[in-house]
Chain A
Amino acid sequence: MWRVLSRYPRLLWRLQGVAGQALLAHKARSFFVVAAVAMGIAALTVIVASVDGARRKALEIVDFFGPDAVLVLGGDIENRPVGQRLNTLSWSDARAIARSLPGAYAVLPMRSVRSVTLRYGNKNHEVPTVVGATENYAATWNWPLSEGRDLSADDIAHGAKVALIGDAPAKALFGDASPIGRTVMVKNLPVQIVGRLSYRGFTGGGSDVSVDDRLIMPISTLTQRFNLDRHYFRGLRVRFHDPDLITVHMENLRSLLRHEHKLGPTVPDDFTIMSASEILKFLTAFTGGLVAFLGVTAGVAILVGGFVLANLMFLGVSERRVEIGLRKAVGATSGAILIQFLSEAVYLTLAGAILGVGLGVGLGESLSRLGMLELRLSPKIFVLSLAAALAIALAFGLRPARKAAGLDPIEALRGGE
């Protein structure tokens, strides 16, 4: 075979034409192989895209959350003991952390209101959360503004009726127009939009609510106008100087809060401390099941594609005995026959790969539109699919191709009589 390759580039080229002609002559069989391989490659495409997507999402969440920060939420949200209050974090907790927790340098209290309807002109949009925040919200959350300005210390001090708008409500209410300077009705409160947060495109903290679907207002304004409990916070964001010591910091924070809340040794935490890595764990568990399922599916589908290829090729070789015998009689070497049949296999699986990537991208888009997966499509997928296709062709096509190459021309020709 290698002799043929090196000595006869012209022959090699011609054999590609022969292979193509043979494939076109056996359209139904070719189609089945292409379809079978395409299924496997489609599954492969989705899995690679979703693994990449999950990794990118993880990185974004770490970036968004900040590797140097933790979020403290009221109540034990993991175990949810019966009868436990969620409002457990108070101003005195915030002050205690800021004053006496070593390594902490910023404590940002947050309150939020759930499911609030925004109105602009005749358009309505319900945001799952309106966040009450302190100054420099966008900056502290590493969340660039695409337009406008951040919340200022003045806004907080004066309870200004201003807000930062997330990408989702901005699109819903303003379409492509700029929301900056517009006045939106938040429930019954007219609020001026001063900044627009850039698109993040992921769901936060294990929920299926997009982080883009939110409005951010000064915590003072939110507390006054929505009659929120003035003593407690939904959450506290605490940042530390040294991200490498985050686990130590979290343990210290936990002891401090248990002490502040006067919890006895047998009483469970009435708060939850989350770091970026904790959020990632949750997320990985969530997508991991789907990825494993797709992985098995892809493996099985590719194997099925390979077996379909091998079986239909064996069928083709016995149906085309006369053709093979004739080719050998008129001067085709065994190598030339081998290359012809392997080339046929390669073209089928490559066509399957191209179709499969297309199918996979389509399938992936629908899955991510349904919110089941985060996808990232990259050239890597294409290269991987082509490599998988070549591997299928060589692994499953080699035996039938060798069978064709090994046919005795006399026997093969006699088979046609």
Chain B
Amino acid sequence: MTGQASSGESEPLIRLTDVTRSYVMGGVTNTVLAGVTLDVAAGEFAAIMGPSGSGKSTLLHILGLLDRPSSGSYRLRGRETGELSDDALSHLRNQAIGFVFQSFYLIPYATALDNVLLPGLYSDAPRAALVRRAGELLDKVGLTSQARHKPSQLSGGQQQRVALARSLINDPDLILADEPTGQLDSATSREIMELLAAINRDAGKTVIVVTHDPDTAAYARRQILVTDGRVARS
């Protein structure tokens, strides 16, 4: 909506132009993304939808700088990411992007608090400020009393809330979530999506959620449909 309009002097947060991604396996080329062109403006809440195997995760990994396009251009905050070194991408992931995964991916031997702090470890922020912020975030997701718990002592919903808090510790512009409700029951899924909606609404973060579940996608204000490696509708 807003993203398309504001080209020209002020570029959108995300601009993908003709992005492809293909894998070569045993001499056979499998093209997963076959030319994706997509803008996402700062402050949007978008859902990427599509059937299983359509390339949603692959697209999200490229958006999250975990993967590089085979061809095409990805500009983030007006900057061409293809020219950046691996270390520069790491730094950008650390500062600009927060990740939430289907399987939560918490460090099993670390407490909820330490898990929230994790991206902060790789930042330049002083520890005291990080710990204060981690406490606030745990409070925001309703887990203050579980701060010292290990992931194994938490329910799935609680673990995903820790992951949400973790994604926010370095105050990034962009939150990327890959099937964040994929392992949760519908009541818990709703809690998580409410939290993501609040993060978008109150903190003004750009949120992109990959899902194949229409109920989950309904929380987003924009739906991007991926089929056959292309954006069919956005």
Residues on A facing B (Cβ under 8 Å): 3, 8, 10-11, 14-15, 18, 21-22, 24-26, 322-323, 325-336, 409-410, 413, 416-417
Contacts and interface: CB of A to CB of B under 8 A. Distances in A.
B93 A330 contact: yes
Given A25-B109, A334-B90, 8 more contacts: A3-B87, A11-B122, A21-B110, A329-B99, A331-B123, A332-B121, A333-B87, A413-B101
B95 interface: yes
Interface string B115-127: 0001101111001
B161 interface: no
A331 B91 contact: yes
Interface string B87-114: 1001101110001011101011110001
7 cross-chain pairs, A with B, having the tightest CB-CB distances, nearest first? A331-B94, A25-B109, A330-B119, A331-B122, A333-B90, A326-B105, A333-B87
A328 B64 CA distance: 12
Contacts of A26: 109
Interface centre among B67, B109, B122 (most CB of A within 10 A): B122
Nearest to A325: B105
B86 interface: yes
A187 B101 CA distance: 92
A331 B90 contact: yes
A67 B74 CA distance: 84
Contacts of B198: none
Contact of A22 (B67, B101, B109, B119): B109
Contacts of A22: 109
A330 B103 contact: no
Interface residues of B, number: 30
Interface string B62-77: 0010110000000000
A312 B211 CA distance: 38
A410 B108 CA distance: 19
A22 to B, nearest CB: 7
Interface of B: 61, 64, 66-67, 86-87, 90-91, 93-95, 99, 101-103, 105, 107-110, 114, 118-119, 121-124, 127, 166, 170
A329 B93 contact: yes
Nearest to A332: B122
30 contacts: A3-B87, A10-B124, A11-B121, A14-B127, A15-B121, A18-B121, A21-B109, A25-B109, A25-B110, A26-B109, A322-B105, A325-B105, A326-B118, A327-B118, A329-B66, A329-B93, A329-B99, A330-B122, A331-B91, A331-B93, A331-B122, A331-B170, A332-B90, A332-B121, A332-B122, A333-B90, A334-B87, A416-B105, A417-B102, A417-B103
Contacts of B90: 328, 331-334
B121 A14 contact: yes
A332 B64 CA distance: 14
A330 B94 contact: yes
A333 B101 CA distance: 20
A330 B118 contact: yes
SS class of chain A's interface: helix, strand, loop or mixed?
helix
Nearest to B105: A326
Contact of A334 (B86, B94, B114, B166): B86
B103 to A, nearest CB: 6
Contacts of A25: 108-110
Contact of B99 (A3, A322, A330, A335): A330
Contacts of B102: 417
A335 B91 CA distance: 12
Contacts of A334: 86-87, 90
Contact of B119 (A24, A331, A410): A331
Contacts of A326: 105, 107, 118
A322 B99 CA distance: 14
Given A8-B124, A11-B122, A333-B86, A323 B107 contact: yes
Nearest to A11: B122
A409 B66 contact: yes
Contacts of B67: 410
Given A336-B122, A417-B103, A329 B64 contact: yes
Nearest to A414: B57
A14 B99 CA distance: 22
A14 B126 CA distance: 11
Contacts of B86: 333-334
Contacts of B109: 21-22, 24-26
Contacts of B110: 21, 25
Contact of B166 (A3, A330, A413): A330
Contacts of B87: 3, 333-335
A11 B125 CA distance: 10
Residue in B94, B99, B107, B123 whose Cβ sees the most chain A Cβ within 10 Å: B107
Contact of B103 (A3, A24, A336, A416): A416
A24 B150 CA distance: 14
Nearest to B98: A330
A323 B67 CA distance: 18
A8 B122 CA distance: 9
A14 B122 CA distance: 8
B129 to A, nearest CB: 12
Contacts of B118: 326-327, 330
A10 B103 CA distance: 31
A164 B102 CA distance: 88
Contacts of A24: 109
A410 B103 contact: no
A307 to B, nearest CB: 26
A416 to B, nearest CB: 6
Contacts of A409: 66
A244 B8 CA distance: 96
A24 B109 CA distance: 9
Contacts of B108: 25, 323
A22 B118 CA distance: 13
A226 B88 CA distance: 93
